[in-house]
Amino acid sequence: MSTESAAKPADTPETDAPRDFVRQIVREDLARGKHAAIRTRFPPEPNGYLHIGHAKAICLDFGIAREFGGWCNLRLDDTNPGKEDPEFVEGIKDDVRWLGYEWHDLRHASDYFEVFYRAAIKLIEDGHAYVDDLTAEQMREYRGTLTEPGRNSPFRDRSAEENLDLFRRMRAGEFADGSKTLRAKIDMASGNINLRDPAIYRIRKVTHQNTGDEWPIYPMYDYAHCLSDALEGITHSLCTLEFEDHRPLYDWLVDNVDLPSHPELWQHMRDAGFRTEPAKPRQIEFSRLNLSYMITSKRKLAQLVNDGLVEGWDDPRMNTLRGLRRRGFTPGGIRLLIERLGVSKQNSVIDYAILENCVREDLDASSPRRMAVIDPLKLVITNLPEGHEETLTFSNHPKDESFGTRQIPFSRELWIEREDFAEVPPKGFHRLKPDGEVRLRGVGIVKCEQIVKDAGGNITEVHCTLDPESRSGMPGADRKVKGTIHWVSARHGVAADIRLYDRLFNVPTPDDESDGKAWIEHINPEAKRLVRGWLEPAAAQAAPEQRYQFERLGYFVADRIDHRAEAPVFNRTVTLRDTWAKQGA
């Protein structure tokens, strides 16, 4: 067994302290001396990568520990070998750190397998557990329904001696998978189905990623989860609402095992160097984070990957934290969303646009500006000489002088956005048109004099003249025109692959199949588009994961895997405004 301690997390500026019901409970517990310090934990199962829904739990578990001067463990609930992978463990650790948090100890449920086994022996000796020979199908039949009580198993009244013998033989690997189960003996007539003699151990002869083939039996999640909390001295066990009905079972297990009064169950861990101060945790439930246009089922996320519908767990269309990171979403934007939504017991679906707006807000303050063209049309300034070239100074951020300035090359031939020119302009069009004028960002006013088309009638170039009196420092520099467009020097621009990402699903509730369509049929075919664009040289030199606002286009990030200065690859994080609102979505 091993422990991984991390340095104390760096302090981060906090806004007004949140006053949600969870924090109020913590404040009251501290004020009346129930706890000297706050201990929390974040306990994901390492059977997939974390998604946006986990971000709320991370921010709450780690955030409360930080706010109240306590600590938070990262604990991997690895009780289901065969579906778990060390790759997911490393991904979880990476994602927690990316969101801005550091754990006190890294723990695994498998660290406690010996404690769980000894605790099961104690439950059997105390008459609180028995070995059952019913099959899984028979157990479901005996369990009853929400309106009908369950029935006692015919094996429920085995003696403690027989149960101990059978359980030890289960541990020795004597029996086949699924042939026997250890169950807690509680109440088969309970109105809470979770208390109808739940299974706490099953036989599974599967190699475990941490313990190898040492154990042919594995604890059930509910059993391991609550005892892990108790072993670690967790003061406040924060769970989502679906675990509310499990709380009576957790309390029953913690009370009947009674770790604080039975050090013989766990003293060997302390002797091996584990920090453990067993105590009874208080479970508090809160509503999970549900966003429109998203799914958070690990099974469905895995299906997207396994069926090749996305390009991996970190595909920027995925709502995994790895996918959101690769798309350019910021930890600050995600934390801002969690802060603004607050914590409640009311389940609801949050509009995806709120997440996008939080990310925009964070990116607006933190992103330098650059110019790029993603649908290029050539503009030639005919009254500048062939080979004309100059360097212009641009601000890196219009709202923050501390970002400094940069140099941008300007030449006779430029790339502009194709949508910034219209041969037959619609009403209210204020960009470039025949005989019309527009301001070139940072340069001056140009007038369209000629259109060049290819044999198919497609516009290939627009020829313009530049009003020299409209240039910076000249008397006509303040002359008013209605439109301003951006550009990239055709001579100096760097070609780039640009990936335009959007929402993966085209309906707000893809899981709702009332329209007769399966969730997978709601995948948005426009969620990823590839274009070849042009960047100003300063943008091409970005490091992987450098974020920019491409002026007038949106926020983009240099791809963390594929981007290179000599072959730039940028992902669109989010548009400058909510384009879905325009569509009435």
pLDDT tens-digit series, residues 59-102: 999 999 999 999 999 999 999 998 888 899 999 999 999 999 99
d(C-alpha 189, C-alpha 117), whole Å: 27
3-state DSSP of 411-448? ECEEEEEHHHECCCCCCCCCCECCCCEEEECCCEEEEE
To the question of whether residue 46 is assigned a binding role by annotation, the answer is yes
pLDDT at 585 over 90: no
Give all domains of the chain, ordered by start, each with its CATH number: 21-109+220-287 (3.40.50.620), 113-219 (3.90.800.10), 298-368+496-575 (2.40.240.10), 372-485 (2.40.240.10)
Q: Are 170 and 201 in contact (CB under 8 A)?
A: yes
pLDDT tens-digit series, residues 327-352: 999 999 999 999 999 999 988 899 99
pLDDT tens-digit series, residues 121-152: 999 999 999 999 999 999 999 999 999 999 99
Q: Which residues are catalytic?
A: 45, 288, 298
To the question of whether residue 288 is assigned a binding role by annotation, the answer is yes
Give the per-residue pLDDT at 275.
85
Give the per-residue pLDDT at 529.
97
Helix (H, G, I), strand (E, B) or coil at 132: strand
Give the per-residue pLDDT at 475.
87
3-state DSSP of 245-260? HHHHHHHHHHHHHCHH
To the question of whether residue 504 is assigned a binding role by annotation, the answer is no
d(C-alpha 551, C-alpha 534), whole Å: 13
Q: Which residue has the higher pLDDT, 5 or 192?
A: 192
Confidence of residue 17 (pLDDT cuts 50, 70, 90): low
pLDDT at 353 over 60: yes
To the question of whether residue 240 is assigned a binding role by annotation, the answer is yes
To the question of whether residue 341 is assigned a binding role by annotation, the answer is no
Token look-up 């369950």 returns 150
Give the per-residue pLDDT at 83.
86
CA angle, residues 448, 450, 455, in degrees to nearest 5: 135
Smallest CA-to-CA distance from 74 within 52, 51, 53, 90 is with 90
Neighbouring C-beta atoms of residue 476, cutoff 10 Å: 12
Give the per-residue pLDDT at 578.
73
Angle at which helix 247-257 crosses helix 221-231, to 10 degrees, equals: 60
Smallest CA-to-CA distance from 198 within 277, 147, 256 is with 256
pLDDT mean over 488-506: 97
Sign of CA dihedral 336, 342, 345, 347: negative
pTM: 0.91
Q: Which helix (H) or strand (E) holds 25?
A: helix 21-31
pLDDT tens-digit series, residues 391-445: 999 999 999 999 999 999 999 999 999 999 999 999 999 999 999 999 999 999 9
To the question of whether residue 543 is assigned a binding role by annotation, the answer is no
Helix (H, G, I), strand (E, B) or coil at 136: helix
To the question of whether residue 221 is assigned a binding role by annotation, the answer is yes
To the question of whether residue 388 is assigned a binding role by annotation, the answer is no
pLDDT tens-digit series, residues 398-413: 999 999 999 999 999 9
pLDDT tens-digit series, residues 278-288: 999 999 999 99
Q: Which residues of 217-236 are buried (b: 16+ CB within 10 A; e: fewer)?
A: bbbbbbbbbbbbbbbbbbbb
Smallest CA-to-CA distance from 253 within 189, 183, 313 is with 183
Give the per-residue pLDDT at 333.
97
To the question of whether residue 54 is assigned a binding role by annotation, the answer is yes
To the question of whether residue 480 is assigned a binding role by annotation, the answer is no
Percent of the chain with pLDDT strictly greater than 90: 90
Smallest CA-to-CA distance from 576 within 550, 556, 554 is with 554
Residue 565 has φ and ψ, to the nearest 5°, of: -60, -35
Give the per-residue pLDDT at 579.
67
